[in-house]
Amino acid sequence: MKKTFAALAAATIAATAAPAMADLVVPNMSYRTGAYAANGIPYADGFNDYFTLLNERDGGIGGEKVVVPECETAYNTEKGVECYESTKGMGALVYNPLSTGITYQLIPKVSADGITLYTPGYGRTSAANGKVFEWVFNYPANYWDGASVAVKHLLDVNGGDLNGKKIALVYHNSAYGKEPIRTLTELSKKHGFTLVELPVDHPGQEQKSQWLQIRRDKPDYVLMWGWGVMNQVAIQEAVNIKFPMENFIGIWWSGSENDVGPAGDGANGYKTISFHGTGANFPINDDLKKYVLDAGKGSGAGDQVGTVLYSRGMYAAMTISEAIRKAQEIAGTSAVNAAQVREGFENLNLTEERLTELGLPDFAQPITANCADHGGPGSARIYQWDAGGKTWNAVSDWITSDADVLDPLVAEDSAAFAAEAGITERCN
Amino acid sequence: MFYREAGDFKTSYREDSQTFPIKFDRLRYYAVLAVAFGVIPLFINDYWANAVFVPFLIYSIAAIGLNILVGFAGQVSLGTGGFMAVGAYAVYKLMTAFPEVSIFFHVLIAGGITAAVGVLFGLPSLRIKGFYLAVATLAAQFFLVWLFNKVPWFYNYSASGQINAPDRTIFGVFVTGAQTSATAKYMFCLVMLTIVAVIARNLTRGTVGRKWMAIRDMDIAAEIIGVNPLSTKITAFAVSSFFIGIAGALFFAVYLGAAEVGEAFGIQKSFLILFMVIIGGLGSIFGSFAGAAFLVLLPVLLKNVLVGTLGWPTDLAAHIELMIVGGLIVIFLIAEPHGLAQLWRVAKEKLRLWPFPH
């Protein structure tokens, strides 16, 4: 027991040493280690850099500096709990854990503690229903939107008919990877294609048997819900069995430079879905270079600027900062608290003019949130990898998901959660 | 000087064979209990409960469970993560199917279900030993994780395969779900740990424990002197799995609140708990606590020191933390192959003679 108490005593000193902060606190629950680090690093860098830019160029949001304490989760739920508890005390306004597993865990906690949880493009899909999930927002798009957009793109490619086609889903065998199955099953009934499910266990370095099955079954298309090292392995395996790359579509978490890079030229033509633009050619990049990178204040190694996941981290930071701005406008004070920030998220009205003003024209879809709608427009674009030029090129316009199929599913799943947790619907 | 047997007279067999025969040990034990039950609950907050105490208490239960199997009965097991998953999914199914029954009983029943599953996977131990048994239990680990992923009934057909602990109370106080206070979480786990530790300590001192140790030390000799290998090995698997099942149930329901089997109860959990037992000391209840403390508290402490106090980048701190913990494990095992419990034992031997060692 001696050892235990010595360790505890020392930990007390360390834990109480963290100062209370008066600024706007937006924790960055990142992962720069572990099997998912290759994807976690660019996202965390983009997230940090955007807030650094606001602090350096504008002096924060509405005159209040933004503090972004970083906490390493390693994509692990136990460390996620530790991170949540340790940053909660600093007065955190909004959480963005970048992990579906941690999101599931935090949904009841943030609802009890009254802190907003913002999960752009991941997390619990039915959180799009603001009537049930008061504290959770997942606009602009969720997994079910992604699944629907992918199928719509395939419909476009096939002249509107997928009858008799076979589509394989290669997915991370976790909450994240299982999310689209329900939607794809419904869509397969509606459009008459066959769905083959191929789970890949964490961390996903071993996929020989799955790709052997693809080689044998010869599906017309392969969709992928992968993350971390699993993406690279899958794309390499697809190249190995000479699967036509233009028939291989990854969700937005399976479409970064890190994923296609190892396969080299073989990955040329691989498609991904994305709810925002990418690249380093936006007007904001000049400011970013001037105020952050050249000033030596960039996060991490500073070599991720312009990559897909860096842009996504920036996207999340941009939406959060706009929601905080809205909250300041509603509350009439710049030092907003967590409850006021939630109001900001709920009344967010992100227009194309505003995006242009921010230096991000044509970067994303406009969002108009309200009490019931926490899910946003649900649209995304298809991008294709050009291995020669090392760029992602948009090959479609914004595709909106199939609301006829998704809305009943969202209503059903959120009703199940409401019944389980004893929640009465709001906004009526 | 203070820690000695001299002058501590026993006048009955009962007194002579009590758990802590030395007066100082006994007082220290009561002092620890008093602090744990009386002082800590007054000061505990969310961070201390969720990041430090609750995981420590739950991992201690799991380590005690595994120590019974590996340390006392000598049956190597790599299936701990899988058995914890059984406890977690059992308590989830019970909580959602019978919401009117108290969570306390659900946790105990979940332990019982895990015990049954443990016995099933313990049956091969009658034919195979050592590394071969380890591989058989490894199969249990992978089979159970696969099962809970594959069969939707276990996760009530939820879209994502996640299980979420609903709100449950004991005497009107929330112990699971988001409204649970830090004190309630801590006390519930502490009560469970105390019960488990007292049972384990007394089992290992009695007939059952002696049979386990006889089998561990030399199974053929044990059989010749009349120890039944079937019942002995099966009881070891049953008791061990019962405790591990309780740990798994608490881990899911009280600590995490939501879990997915591959991430929370994967093979790395089996190794983590096995390391706790080995570093703490095989065949020692105190060793289970020491091992759990070492592997749960040290990373949190290092993180707080490196990131919180020294202000290092989080990735650097995370890597250095792995290296420090790994290095310490190596150093400890070189300095004392029998674990932290042996260090403690040696320290006590020295204290008995101090300050006149000759």
How many C-beta atoms lie closer than 10 Å to residue A314's C-beta?
30
- Dump pLDDT digits (tens) for B324-345: 989 988 998 888 889 899 998 8
The complex's ipTM works out to: 0.88
In order, the DSSP letters of A291-311 are IIITTT--STTS--TTSHHHH
pLDDT at position A22 is: 61
CB B327 within 8 A of CB B302: no
Give the separation between CA B39 and CA A10, rounded to whole angstroms: 18
Chain B's closest residue to A85, CA to CA, is: B47
Closest CA to A50 of A312, A334, A366: A312
**Contacts A10 to B, Cβ<8 Å:** 301, 305
pLDDT at position A89 is: 85
Helix and strand counts by DSSP (H, E) for chain B = 17, 4
Rg (CA), chain B: 21
The alpha carbon of B83 is separated from its chain's Cα centroid by a whole number of angstroms, namely 12
DSSP class of A20: P
How many C-beta atoms lie closer than 10 Å to residue B99's C-beta?
12
SS3 at position A391: strand
SS3 at position A81: helix
Distance from CA of B34 to the nearest CA of A (A): 14
CB A25 within 8 A of CB A67: yes
Tokens, residue B226? 């009349």
Please, which residues 18-57 of chain A have a Cβ atom closer than 8 Å to chain B? Answer: 18, 30, 32-33, 37, 41
- Dump pLDDT digits (tens) for A361-373: 989 999 999 998 9
pLDDT at position B1 is: 63
SS3 at position B338: coil
Q: What angle do CA B148, B152, B158 make, to 5 degrees?
A: 110
Residue with tokens 């701005």: A325
pLDDT at position A19 is: 42
Residue A109 contacts B, CB cutoff 8 Å: yes
Per-residue pLDDT, averaged over B184-199, amounts to 95
Residue with tokens 């000391």: B281
Give the separation between CA A150 and CA A272, rounded to whole angstroms: 9
- Dump pLDDT digits (tens) for B93-149: 999 999 889 999 999 999 999 999 999 999 988 888 888 999 999 999 999 999 999
B144 in a domain, yes or no?
yes
Domain count, chain B: 1
Percent above pLDDT 90 for chain B: 62
Q: Which residues pair with A29 in a beta bridge?
A: A71
Cis peptide leading into A140, omega within 30 of 0?
A: yes
Per-residue pLDDT, averaged over B228-239, amounts to 94
B238 in a domain, yes or no?
yes
Judged against a pLDDT cut of 70, whether residue A95 lies above it is answered with yes
Please, which residues 174-193 of chain A have a Cβ atom closer than 8 Å to chain B? Answer: 174-176, 178-179, 181-182
B153 in a domain, yes or no?
yes
pLDDT at position A4 is: 47
A86/B47 Cβ within 8 A: yes
SS3 at position A32: coil
B335 in a domain, yes or no?
no
Could you tell me the domains of chain A? 22-142+279-377 (3.40.50.2300), 146-276+381-407 (3.40.50.2300)
B309/A10 Cβ within 8 A: no
A81/B255 Cβ within 8 A: yes
Nearest to A175 among B46, B160, B300 (CB): B160
Highest mean pLDDT among A14-28, A386-400, B6-20 belongs to A386-400
A3/B294 Cβ within 8 A: yes
Chain A's closest residue to B43, CA to CA, is: A12
Give the separation between CA B162 and CA B263, rounded to whole angstroms: 11
B308/A15 Cβ within 8 A: yes
Give the separation between CA A102 and CA A81, rounded to whole angstroms: 8
What is the span of the domain harbouring residue B94?
A: 22-266
B167/A421 Cβ within 8 A: yes
Which of B29, B297, B304 best probes binding to A when mutated, by most A CB atoms within 10 angstroms? B304
B295 in a domain, yes or no?
no
B274 in a domain, yes or no?
no
B227 in a domain, yes or no?
yes
Which of A16, A47, A82 best probes binding to B when mutated, by most B CB atoms within 10 angstroms? A82
Closest CA to B161 of B265, B290, B47, B51: B265
How many C-beta atoms lie closer than 10 Å to residue B129's C-beta?
14
B145 in a domain, yes or no?
yes
Residue A69 contacts B, CB cutoff 8 Å: no
Give the separation between CA A101 and CA A93, rounded to whole angstroms: 21
